[in-house]
């Protein structure tokens, strides 16, 4: 009897899952499979924090499938060869999956779709990750947008509140013995994928996050009830819990943007005003990043603005290490970098501050920052990571002007006025008075163990402006 393979990747949920729903609608056995092949995503294969999240998300997905009378098959190895093997083992005549948009993955998926069809299988892909496909939104001349505001206006005009799909009412297994685990193809044990760190540094991640579809829905509900109405202001204050923290759940497809927008609408919120509007625009910014990486795949390594190919970046292992370790001597920066290391996440306002210091005051290449974030963020997303770092460096789409160089002292005083955030992650400054906590070098009460600033903010700003003037 024929069956349908559902190739799961970063779409680890049951609701609003187009590939899974389409497979269930065929009425034939559905075989969900996840293939661990990180080398196929090189040079941006998942980092350590992403692998930690993936391990737990796969565990939750397997539990959810079991409750639906199904199970998750885990395999390691080349994706195409594994899919062909599974098709032979199960008698599957079709393979369904949801699309991804990273350059290496697009190339891989196109080759796999072609090879599967040549082997006589039905191979069909779906949109599960975006409100609109990258080829659906274009300027009047048919070109991709490079500026966010008109892009988002076009997305809004095309509609962003389509009803999400529901959980399939039934996932047919391969036979009556499926519940006992018989008649299913062989599966690896989750531990065999070797996703968890051998040296257990992940306690902070476990304390702050609940991977999986249920965790995503719980976080969304909490955000809608407690924070979204004040989001316009709350999103700027790193010392408060004013953001959704849905980004890792979105990246791993434990929740979809359609579900988020629909839930906001169902809660009676106006998507064109107040906190809900600001939050939905952040979903739009994520969407913008995916559209850009689709149309400009070279930007994962190269500046979108070709002038920046000639920018005189510095090289300093010592300065880079101080930044990575949260030992720059600039409290708001150090707090952000330590939050990242301890929790696998960083507040967006602080992300902009630390990125500005790295690329402009320290004048280190934005790829150094992108790669560090890639390894340490639980929400490391190639599209968003590329867009954010190129924006900070001034080299990307809708980028911050080259002369916009954040003063981290003023940023700290404005967005962490009482020092709550700094004291949380830089406890050696706990006794500093509020008036000096963002510039402790100006006080005779600075703890001797806390470093002096790695760079003079005024002179480094002037040096960065001079460097920008050399661009052709």
**Digit-coded pLDDT (tens) for 343-397:** 999 999 999 999 999 999 999 999 999 999 999 999 999 999 999 999 999 998 8
* Measured distance CA(53)–CA(317) in Å, rounded: 29
* Contact (CB, 8 A) for 363 and 320: no
d(CA 336, CA 372): 13
* 394-417 mean pLDDT: 89
Contact present, 389 and 370 (Cβ < 8 Å): yes
Q: Give the chain's length.
A: 472
Domain boundaries, the chain: 1-127, 129-163+211-295, 306-469
| Mean pLDDT computed over every residue of the chain | 95
Strand order in the sheet with 122-126: 73-76, 30-36, 3-8, 92-98, 122-126
Here the tokens at position 76 are 């390691």
Per residue in 71-90, pLDDT (tens digit) is: 999 999 999 999 999 999 99
Half-sphere exposure of 432 (CA within 13 A, CB side): 28
Work out the pLDDT band at 180, boundaries 50, 70, 90.
very low
Give the residue with greater pLDDT, 37 vs 182: 37
**Does CATH number 3.90.180.10 belong to domain 129-163+211-295?**
no
What pLDDT shows up at residue 201? 82
Per-residue pLDDT at 175: 61
pLDDT, tens only, 189-206 = 999 999 998 877 888 899
* Cβ atoms 183, 37 nearer than 8 A: no
Chain position carrying tokens 């075989």: 31
pLDDT of residue 181: 45
Beta strands 3-8 and 73-76 are unpaired
The CA distance from 225 to 210, in Å, is 19
What residues act catalytically? 282, 285, 313, 348, 366, 389
> Which residues partner with 364 through β-bridges?
314
**Into which CATH architecture does domain 306-469 fall?**
Orthogonal Bundle (1.10)
The first and second tokens of residue 178, run together, are: 């499926």
Query: What is the distance between the alpha carbons of residues 349 and 411, in angstroms, rounded to a whole number?
Result: 9
Query: What CATH number should be reported for the domain whose range is 1-127?
Result: 3.40.50.620
- Domains 129-163+211-295 and 306-469 agree in fold: no
Q: What are 334-338's contacts with CB under 8 Å, separation 24+?
A: 334/422, 334/425, 334/426, 335/238, 335/416, 335/421, 335/422, 335/424, 335/425, 335/426, 336/238, 336/425, 338/425, 338/426
Pairwise CA distance, residues 222 & 301, whole Å: 37
- Mean pLDDT, rounded, for 330-346: 97
Place of tokens 């760190």: 197
Specify the pLDDT at position 358. 98
* HEC assignment per residue over 108-168: HHHHHHHHHHHCCCEEEEECCCCCCCCCCCCCCCCCCCCCHHHHHHHHHHHCCCCCCCCCC
Tens of pLDDT, residues 17-41: 999 999 999 999 999 999 999 999 9
Name the pLDDT band for 472 (thresholds 50, 70, 90).
Answer: confident
- Give the predicted TM-score (pTM) of the model: 0.96
Which helix or strand (DSSP H or E) is residue 33 part of?
Answer: strand 30-36
356 upstream amide cis, omega within 30 of 0 = no
Closest CA to 7 of 119, 120, 118, 85: 85
Asked if pLDDT for residue 421 goes beyond 80, the answer is yes
- Residue whose token pair is 């819990």: 241
Q: Encoding tokens for residue 287?
A: 């969407």
Count CB atoms within 10 A of the CB of residue 321. 11
Give the Cα separation of 402 and 392 in Å (integer): 9
One-letter-per-residue 3-state SS of 58-107: HHHHHHHHHHCCCCCEEEECCHHHHHHHHHHHHCEEEEEEECCCCHHHHH
Distance CA 420, CA 299 (A): 36
- φ, ψ of residue 77 to 5 degrees: the values are 125, -175
pLDDT at 399: 67
Residue corresponding to tokens 């008075």? 433
Residue 371's contacts (CB-CB under 8 Å, 6 or more residues apart) are: none
Separation between Cα atoms, residue 289 and residue 203, nearest integer Å: 31
């Amino acid at each position: 009897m024929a069956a349908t393979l559902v190739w799961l990747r970063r779409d680890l949920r049951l609701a609003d899952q187009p590939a899974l729903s389409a497979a269930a609608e065929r009425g034939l056995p559905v075989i969900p499979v996840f293939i661990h092949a990180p080398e196929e995503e090189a040079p941006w294969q998942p980092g350590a924090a992403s692998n930690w999240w993936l391990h737990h998300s796969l565990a939750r997905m397997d539990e959810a499938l079991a409750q639906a009378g199904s199970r998750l098959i885990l395999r390691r190895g080349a994706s195409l060869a594994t899919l062909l093997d599974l098709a032979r083992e199960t008698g599957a005549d079709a393979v369904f999956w949801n699309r991804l948009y990273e350059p290496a993955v697009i190339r891989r998926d196109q080759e796999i779709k072609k090879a599967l069809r040549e082997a006589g299988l039905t191979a069909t892909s779906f949109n599960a990750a975006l409100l609109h496909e990258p080829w659906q939104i274009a300027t009047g001349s048919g070109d991709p947008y490079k500026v966010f505001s008109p892009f988002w206006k076009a997305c809004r005009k095309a509609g962003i509140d389509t009803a999400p799909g529901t959980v399939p009412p039934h996932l047919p297994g391969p036979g009556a013995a499926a519940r006992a685990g018989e008649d299913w193809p062989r599966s690896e044990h989750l531990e065999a994928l070797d996703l968890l760190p051998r040296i257990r540094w992940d306690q902070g991640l476990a304390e702050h996050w609940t991977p999986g579809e249920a965790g995503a829905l719980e976080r969304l509900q909490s955000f809608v009830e407690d924070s979204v109405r004040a989001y316009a202001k709350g999103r700027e204050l790193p010392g408060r819990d004013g953001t959704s923290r849905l980004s890792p759940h979105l990246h791993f497809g434990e929740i979809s943007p359609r579900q988020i927008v629909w839930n906001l609408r169902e809660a009676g919120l106006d998507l064109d005003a107040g906190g809900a509007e600001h939050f939905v625009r952040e979903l739009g910014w994520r969407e913008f990043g995916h559209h850009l990486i689709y149309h400009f795949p070279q930007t994962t390594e190269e500046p979108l603005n070709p002038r920046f190919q000639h920018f005189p970046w510095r090289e300093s292992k010592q300065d880079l290490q101080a930044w990575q370790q949260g030992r720059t001597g600039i409290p708001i920066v150090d707090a952000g970098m330590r939050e990242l290391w301890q929790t696998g996440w960083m507040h967006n306002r602080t992300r902009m501050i630390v990125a500005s210091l790295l690329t402009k005051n320290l004048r280190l290449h934005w790829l150094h920052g992108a790669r560090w974030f890639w390894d340490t963020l639980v929400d490391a997303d190639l599209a968003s990571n590329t867009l954010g770092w190129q924006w900070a460096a001034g080299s990307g789409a809708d980028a911050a002007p080259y002369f916009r160089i954040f003063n981290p002292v003023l940023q700290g005083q404005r967005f962490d006025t009482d020092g709550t955030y700094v004291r949380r992650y830089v406890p050696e400054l706990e006794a500093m008075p509020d008036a000096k906590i963002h510039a402790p070098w100006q006080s005779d009460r600075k703890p001797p163990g806390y470093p002096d600033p790695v760079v003079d903010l005024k002179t480094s700003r002037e040096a960065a402006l001079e460097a920008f003037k050399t661009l052709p």
